[in-house]
Each structure stands twice: as C-alpha cells, then as structure tokens.
Amino acid sequence: MRRVLPCDGVHGLWSPLPDSCLEIIDTDRPHQTDTPHVVPAGHTQVESAIAALQLGGTRDGADPRTHLVLLEDNYKFGLATRVDVQLLFKHADYVFDANRFVAPGPLEARVKFNVLEGRGATPAVTLVPSVFVPMTSTQAFRAGALVFLGWELPGGFELELNTGVLAQPAVKPNALVVFAAAVTHRVAGPLSAFVDVYATGMDVQLGTGFLAPIGRDAQIDFGTYIGLNGAVFLATPFIGFSARR
C-alpha cells in the first residue's frame, strides 16, 4: 500500500496544507495577468497595492486628473486543494485636482478552480468566474468568466496568459473581451522582473516591474503601468506588498 505523505491528498479549511509543504509565495500582483495557481488550502494571503500614482490623465481624455490610489487589495482564502476564493477592493482614491477622496470600490468577488496543474508543455489551467459589485452609481456592474494559463519555461522564464469575457448590461458595449499576457524572468537570486500587456475591450496597458520575495511568505513589488489606448492613465508607478499565513 502506498504511504500517503502529509503533502499529498486533499486539504482544506478543515485540514490545512502543512507549513512544511509550502513553496515560495505566488501572487497575482503586480502582473496585469493573474497566476493560474491558487492559495494553498487552509491558508490566507493578502496582496496589496500599497500606493499607485495615476499620472497624466486617461488616454481617451475622459479623466484628465491625477489620482493617488491607496490599498487596492486582494484578500485570498485557500478553500480547498485547487480552489480559492478572493475579494478584491480599492480602499482609497484621492484626486489631487479636486483635493478630495472619491468613492472606494468596486468590490470584485471571484473563485479560482485549478483544473490542470501543468507540467512541461502542458499549461496550468484555472477557471475563474467573477463579479464586480459597484459601490456607487458611477461604477458599472460586471460579471464574467476568465481562463488563466501558465507555463514554467526553460531558463527561469514563466509565461502567463489570461482571456475571457466580461458582461456589463448597463454600459455600452455590453460585453468586453479580456486578453493579457506576461513574461517573468528570475534575474538575480529570488528577484524577478516582468513585462506584460493587458487589454479590456479597447483599453490597453503595458506593465513592467520587479518582484522581490522576503523569505517564503512575503514579497514586495514595484514598477510602472503605461497606458497605450483608451480609458487608461498615461503612467501609473506603484509599490506593493504581499503576505501569506
């Protein structure tokens, strides 16, 4: 009879994956893609954009102001093996031109179902139903389904692809195609650099930055997103922090 090791089998809130089985923290941020991997079962993870400065107004001119976004966070809970639930929320948005904070939000709730772990040329595949709940009348209700894919490539490279559709009944167009791609490379020790592109409908943004793990369960990140087209800011430098327990 095969001996079942502590890291094998199904774990969950009732039976967390032992700490000895944990690998280095794996985060969705700061990439504009999201990882197909989930939070280890029975563990929690917080990923925070501590501060992001949205400069130059949006490319389409719809918002010419400068914003300081604080604590745009993702709260993640490892529900069971290959499944986590997430709540994403922007806590504070200060508009310099108006000298005031605008309404926080929206609240995004989603579930990640990892259906394929991935190995070699076979990608990790995760299905992600999600819903965006508006906090004010200026925010749109959205709901949709996304697919996250990821490959571990030779030479310390990692490739991620996200795609899917978001529906927004009260806003034109009523549906948006989402596509994002990111390449990450370990450059020195645990320090990694990334470059990515994210498109939601006609809104397109380029991103680049660095991820610096602190031990096994924490990470800092920093970089800049650059608006290429649509309702995206010309430049958004950011710094973030993530932790798991």
For the chain (245 residues), the mean pLDDT of every run of 10, in chain order, is 66 92 95 96 97 96 95 97 97 95 95 93 96 91 96 93 95 93 94 97 96 97 98 97 97
Domain ranges for the chain = 55-244
pLDDT at 1: 41
Length of the chain, in residues: 245
C-alpha pair distances (Å), 189 with each of 43, 161, 192, 223 = 26, 25, 8, 19
Whole-model pTM: value is 0.93
pLDDT at 24: 94
Superfamily of domain 55-244: monomeric porin ompg (2.40.160.40)
pLDDT at 189: 87
Burial class (CB in 10 A: 0-12, 13-18, 19+), 191: exposed
227 within 8 A of 59, measured Cβ to Cβ: yes
pLDDT at 119: 85
SS3 label, residue 64: coil
